[in-house]
Chain A
Amino acid sequence: MAPIVTGRSLDFISHSVAQTQRIGERLGRLLQGGDLICLEGELGTGKTCLVQGIGRGLGIASAIASPTFIIASEYPVPNHRYKFYHIDLYRIETVAEARAAGLEDYFYGDGICVIEWAERVRELLPEERLWITLHYIGDTKRALLFKPQGKRYEELLQRFRAKAFGSQ
């Protein structure tokens, strides 16, 4: 299945949980401190699954489970001083609530931050980010659309595309 590629974004169909995790893992290997990844997609589209892969790509050994209950989980990143933050806004519905919870510190920090349900706090987020939208297509199929905003993320996506799918 060849990915549909435009200059600025990447569209990909995953056929399994394992494939979504592998895609996350490949992306995770390219991330660095300060990176922000925003995930948008309904329940059951594979957001947490993708994050598990990203964690694996960063070399995080501990299992990454859903942080819905505690909203933000943090993990040390091996060989780096920054941390990996996994944030789940499932239970946060407004920008005011996110502000009250002190979540901006994560968005603008020096760690790697992945946010599930990021669309709920769009106006709080830095302009530059990688936005990934996940859609349900079939029982085992999910569409993933990667959209970079800013130079860092355009380069990141180019490298990711080359690593994950070979050059065009």
Chain B
Amino acid sequence: MVLVLGLETSCDETAAAVVADGREILSNVVASQIELHRRYGGVFPEIASRQHILDIVPVIEEALAQAKVGWDSLDALAVTAGPGLVGSLLVGVNVAKGIAWARGLPLIGVNHLEAHLYANWLIPPNDTRHAVQKEQIPPPQFPLICLIVSGGHSDLVLMTGHGQYRVLGRTLDDAAGEAFDKVARLLGLGYPGGPAIQAAAENGNPCRFSLPRAMLERGYDFSFSGLKTAVLRIVQRYASGGKERGQARYRLFSSPTASAQRQLPLADLAASFQAAVVDVLVKKTKRAAEEFQVKEVLLAGGVASNKLLRQRMSAQINVPVRYPPPILCTDNAAMVAAAGYFKHMAGERSSWDLDVRPGMALK
């Protein structure tokens, strides 16, 4: 059994996990900073890195204790090196270097996007639904298409083997999760936007508002900026009491007033927005799955928790669609350990001059 300790501090979660053989989660500890960042409507970098410094050591100790393993049982240490916030990444990478040096462990720098993708190799914890042994859940089969959708990313990736990636498309402006966060703020729904919009859309009519779907026909890139703007115009129209748009043209809009919210068909607008995002993501993923004749489609990243996205993908794509449980979709260290395991088995090592790469791309 090969045990990898994973560390993740790329954004607002301080996380450590121990994973066996790249698939079995022995522990998965996450100290969430969501409450801290709620007032900013997103992650505030300086606060995030300070909090990582406070949390990282207790989180690692907790991960080892829960896994019931000592330092001597570990085979490798994997850490997110990018992409992410520079100050946050630095905490994880330097702690990892210190531990790896002191314990004589191989150090493996992992790309955060790659880690999200490898969340699909993890055996879902407490999977009582099937009550099966881990051997009975086969790992993903290559070639596959993976859609990585989160607050900072919207990447469509073709994967032909471990460590073999080709990015088919990515967002040209706003990430899918960013669009959810911005629209949630416009609608006065709070942060994080994904779950808030999903909840608000529950009984809404997704056909009430006709919103743009930027298909960018020629390729697999995404664009969600126009959709966000379209929602803003609708909110403004309601805020101005249905007056002609011209009268509201220079009005600065910050947050909807109580009266505007009363008139605004919130559920219908949230549902229409969600449907537009999901539509584009599903259509492009389906087209890629067909063009490259893949065996499986994987979803990854925080937005992969969205129920409508999961339903539509599974319903409209002809090959099996796999997605991690929500707890493994958001940032966690088990996925970092899983990605690190496959690199470790391939003999990949990072040197002691491993540096953080805030803008790191998937290669």
Q: Which residue of B lies closest to A68 (CB)?
A: B178
Q: Specify which chain B residues have a CB less than 8 angstroms from the CB of A93 in the assembled complex.
A: 40
Count chain A residues whose beta carbon lies closer than 8 angstroms to a beta carbon of B: 27
A119 and chain B: residue at smallest CB distance = B252
Which one of A2-10, A24-32, A40-48, A149-157 is at the B interface? A40-48
Q: Does B348 contact A (CB under 8 A)?
A: no
Find out whether the CB atom of B225 lies under 8 angstroms from the CB atom of A48: yes
Decide if B44 touches A97 in the complex (CB within 8 Å).
yes
**From B170, B172, B186, residue with most partner A Cβ within 10 Å:** B172
Q: Mark B70-98, 1 if CB is under 8 A from A, else 0.
A: 00000000000000110000000000000
Contact, CB under 8 Å: A48 / B173: yes
| Contact flag A137-B358 (CB < 8 Å), given A43-B186, A44-B225, A69-B178 | no
Q: Is the CB–CB distance between A91 and B42 below 8 Å?
A: yes
Tell me the bound Cα distance from A57 to B229 in angstroms. 25
When the two chains form their complex, are residues B42 and A69 in contact, meaning their CB atoms are under 8 A apart?
A: yes
CB distance from A100 to the nearest CB of B (A): 5
Q: Quick check: A69 and B232 within 8 Å, CB to CB?
A: no
In the complex the two chains form, is A43's CB within 8 Å of B182's CB? Answer: yes
Per the bound structure, the CA–CA distance linking A101 and B46 in Å amounts to 5
Q: Which single residue of chain A is at the shortest CB-CB distance from B83? A: A70
Some 5 contacts from A to B, beta carbons below 8 A apart, are A42-B252, A44-B229, A44-B233, A63-B170, A70-B358
Besides the contacts A43-B186, A68-B42, what 11 more A-B pairs have beta carbons closer than 8 Å? A43-B182, A44-B228, A68-B182, A69-B151, A69-B152, A69-B177, A74-B359, A90-B182, A91-B40, A93-B40, A97-B44
9 A-B pairs with least C-beta separation: A44-B229, A69-B152, A91-B42, A66-B174, A100-B46, A101-B46, A44-B232, A43-B232, A66-B173
